[in-house]
Amino acid sequence: MAVYKYRARNSQGRITVGAVEAGNEAEAADLLMDKGLIVLSLTETSSSSKKGFNINIGRVKHKDIVIFSRQLSVMISATVPIVQSLKILAQQTVNPIFIEKIVEIANDVDGGMKLSDALGKHKKVFSHFYVAMVRSGETSGRLDEVLEYLADQMEKDYDLVSRIKGAMIYPIFIVSGMIAVGALMMIFVVPQMTQMLKETNTELPFLTRILIGTSDFIQGNLWLIGGIVIAIVVFFRFWLSSKPGKITWDAVKINIPIFGSLFKKIYIVRFTRSLSTLIRGGVPIAVALKITAEVVDNRAYEKLIRDTVEEVEGGNSIATLFVKSDLVPKMLSQMIVIGERTGKLDNVLEKLSEFYSREIDNLVQGLTSLIEPLILVIMGIGVGGMVAAIMLPMFKVAQSIS
């Protein structure tokens, strides 16, 4: 099957554009003619199969969904029919994989399916959170507002992740470079510099013996070390994909020194922002909590939220369990209680997400400021130790000769 962008004239003589999925160009033209369209141009944009190989390589990016949501919101608010809006978006979208998804969604909606149900068929592209928000927009008749709000929230999530990644790039680059340079020194430079020391048959300092021993071990077991590193990486990825591994790793992340506080704030922002968005979209609190439990992406917080669902369904406050938990700051619990009493829980949660987002920014900047000099100190100790291990015995040899 392939996706074809088309430009055609309808029965009223108006020009319309969109996309259609068909086995070949002739089949695409027949499908359009059956709909009463006169084809003016037909261009193949992507193919879902070719010579038996799947070419759907890549993925739909976060940015693609944000643009899709915002543009669809604008067209719906301008009273453009949903099917026509989707076809226009398929024509304007660059990502060939996303084009196929939009065309499938447009065909499903054209066949009588709700937009939320059509989106729900593509779980790898549209999350449960996204589908639930669209469904709430359909129910309340405010689909354009919901889509616009979704785009705003997704942009905030993307900005948060981008800021954290951007702040960590420099330290990771320096550490990676330091490890690479150290390995090259041990494999190529140190053996040549220490060869002369071995030939003198003099007693070498303890530090020098450690350096030579480490260098000899790395040289003699290079393939073994490489295999062990690869095995560890593969095992770690496999372990993380398992349920016990995921639970353990999530617990480690929120309890690890220094970075544990950062991870906790990230999960709190996800919780407050997602729950605020869902409540504002008209989703019942119990249902909103269940969806938020999936969005937060940490088993410890997920369990706390799912336990909270039972409390809410039993008529208790959201903050009942939060007050007792070390995972949630006291301020968050107190503000949730205030939001429930005043009937402005969505606004309170939104303000909390903004507050903790700023806390994350400050924490990331502080960690960056702390990590940079720490890395320089470690580099200085490493380089100084290596130089001392080589130069001290050389001074001894020079003194014995003189």
* CATH number of domain containing 17: 1.20.81
pLDDT above 90 as % of the chain: 20
As beta bridge partners, residue 20 has 4
Q: Report yes or no on 138 lying in a domain.
A: no
**Residue 20, domain member (yes or no):** yes
State yes or no: pLDDT of 297 exceeds 80: yes
**Structural domain of 64:** 2-126
Range among 25-34, 81-90, 131-140 with highest mean pLDDT value: 81-90
Among 9-18, 76-85, 316-325, the minimum mean pLDDT is found in: 9-18
Residue 3 has pLDDT above 90, yes or no: no
Alpha-carbon dihedral sign for residues 135, 141, 142, 147: positive
Radius of gyration of the chain (CA): 30
Q: What is the pLDDT of residues 317-343, one digit of tens each?
A: 999 999 998 999 999 999 999 999 998
Q: With contact defined as beta carbons under 8 Å apart, do 269 and 123 qualify?
A: no
Range scoring the smallest mean pLDDT among 79-83, 179-183, 330-334 = 179-183
Same domain? 172 vs 116: no
**Would you tell me the crossing angle of helices 259-280 and 299-313 to the nearest 10 degrees?**
40
Q: Of residues 190 and 227, which shows the higher confidence score?
A: 227
pLDDT in tens, 357-383: 899 888 888 877 887 788 888 888 888
Which has the higher per-residue pLDDT, 373 or 268?
268
The answer to the question of residue 119 being in a domain is yes
Residue 276 pLDDT greater than 80, yes or no: yes
Is 192 in the same domain as 273? yes
CATH number at residue 294: 1.20.81.30
Which tens digit of pLDDT belongs to each residue from 125-176?
Answer: 898 888 888 888 888 788 888 888 888 888 888 888 888 887 778 778 888 8
- Give me 303's structure tokens: 């369990």
Same domain for 156 and 104, yes or no, is no
Domain count, the chain: 2
| Residue 57 confidence class, pLDDT cut points 50, 70, 90 | very low
**254 and 162 share one domain:** yes
